[in-house]
Amino acid sequence: MKRVAIAPGDGIGPEVIPSALEILRYYHPEWEYIPVYLGYECWKRTGDALSDKTLETLRKADLILFGAITTPPDPKYHSVVLRIRKELDLYANLRPVFGEGFDILIVRENTEGLYSGIEWQEKDRACTLRVVSLEGSRRIARFASACAKRRRRHLTIGNKANVLKSDVYFLEICVEEAEKAGISIDKKYIDSLVLDVLQHPSRYDVIVTTNIFGDILSDAAAFLEGGLGMLPSANIGRHQALFEPVHGSAPDIAGKGIANPIAAIRCVSLLLKYVGEKPRALAVERAIQKTIADGIKTPDLGGTATTDDVGRAVLRNLQAE
């Protein structure tokens, strides 16, 4: 029995989440699903993008299925996603990227580094503190090592230790944890790592790195899959996890019913893997592949199907397994 918070958010979020939710309900009709209202629209209506009450609901959830948030240009607006990551201490951000001949899992530290929030302005300069803590590094290193152990037992540590002493620190801790886990490692500077992932993706298994490097690396790696449109992500904490398609709220196509729900549905696949139901996770991925192969595709993939057409086709394929 799980409590699942459903937070569609803005733009195409409320259009793609229902398709994903239907797949999840198919496997788990017995779970409790709690709708949650947050984001930019919510902010415009209530003056609060993420109320304390909503945050409390999220805190009590085992799983969170998240849509997308429109970020207003207002610099005083604080990112809802960042706030949730911090408040719920969702310390591991996972971005799987796979395709013909490669299968990479990017594990990004999700709570510190340049996202410390420790910032100040002096007379004629602005400063941000990059914080790499022992505990923060150890838990992400352990997490990534454990992932690698269940996969091809190799961990690449993305770093800039040739420039940053804080990355010498990060690197040492990662090496230690990888050794304890008995997996092989290599260390790569983040600049050449980004390029090498693009040139030789098959060389990589799990990649662990600090917060902002992971942010950039994941988007670069999305190039291998043709962009952000189809990628899911997971934000994992000690007792709970949030799943979020990588694409944004896409206001330009919102309201037309043509948004591609595949990233959101893949979030369900990640979620199922997270709760230990790997065969089901794989079944969802197969059902997606079959849907695409059958030509049931939204306009972004060159098709004419609607969001619901794709969602229904995936579900049908699952039922037919």
Ligand X SMILES: CC(C)[C@H](C(=O)O)[C@@H](O)C(=O)O
Which are the catalytic amino acids? 115, 160, 191, 215, 219
Type of residue at 285: E
Ramachandran area for residue 153 (φ above 0: left; ψ -120 to 50: alpha; else beta): left
- Cα 302–chain centre separation: 25
Report the C-alpha gap between 289 and 312 in whole angstroms: 14
**Token pair of 281 as six digits:** 């996770």
Site string for ligand X, 105-144 (x = CB under 6 A): ----------------------------------------
Number of residues binding to a second copy, judged by CB under 8 A = 49
Q: Which does 223 bind (CB under 5 to 8 A by kind): a second copy, ligand X, none?
A: a second copy
- Looking up tokens 């002493």 gives 165
**Token pair of 15 as six digits:** 């259009």
Please report whether residue 302 would count as binding a second copy according to CB under 8 A: no
**Measured from the CB atom, is 233 or 317 closer to a second copy?**
233
DSSP state of 261: -
**Measured from the CB atom, is 199 or 319 closer to ligand X?**
199
Nearest to 247 by CA among 33, 22, 9: 9
Please report whether residue 75 would count as binding ligand X according to CB under 6 A: no
**Measured from the CB atom, is 106 or 258 closer to ligand X?**
106
**Measured from the CB atom, is 247 or 280 closer to a second copy?**
247
Nearest to 97 by CA among 248, 206, 14: 206
Parallel, antiparallel or unpaired: strands 63-68 and 154-159? unpaired
Site string for a second copy, 51-90 (x = CB under 8 A): --------------------x---x---x--x--------
Please report whether residue 132 would count as binding a second copy according to CB under 8 A: yes
Q: Which does 293 bind (CB under 5 to 8 A by kind): ligand X, a second copy, none?
A: none
- Tally the C-alpha atoms within 13 A of residue 302's C-alpha that lie toward its C-beta: 5
Q: What CA–CA distances, in Å, run from 244 to 16, 146, 262, 299?
A: 11, 22, 12, 21
Please report whether residue 82 would count as binding ligand X according to CB under 6 A: yes
Q: Which of 29, 30, 101, 165 binds a second copy (CB under 8 A)?
A: 165
Parallel, antiparallel or unpaired: strands 241-245 and 232-236? antiparallel
Q: What CA–CA distances, in Å, run from 16 to 245, 256, 292?
A: 9, 12, 16
Q: Which does 319 bind (CB under 5 to 8 A by kind): a second copy, ligand X, none?
A: none
Report the C-alpha gap between 231 and 199 in whole angstroms: 20
Stretch that binds ligand X, among 47-55, 79-87, 141-149, 199-207 (CB under 6 A): 79-87
Parallel, antiparallel or unpaired: strands 232-236 and 92-99? antiparallel
Please report whether residue 191 would count as binding ligand X according to CB under 6 A: yes
Please report whether residue 195 would count as binding a second copy according to CB under 8 A: yes
Stretch that binds ligand X, among 74-82, 133-141, 149-157, 273-281 (CB under 6 A): 74-82
**Measured from the CB atom, is 70 or 317 closer to a second copy?**
70
Contacts with a second copy, residue ranges (CB under 8 A): 71, 75, 79, 82, 114-115, 119, 121, 124-136, 160-166, 168-170, 190-192, 194-195, 198-199, 212-213, 215-216, 218-220, 222-223, 227-228
Contacts with ligand X, residue ranges (CB under 6 A): 79, 81-82, 162-163, 191, 215
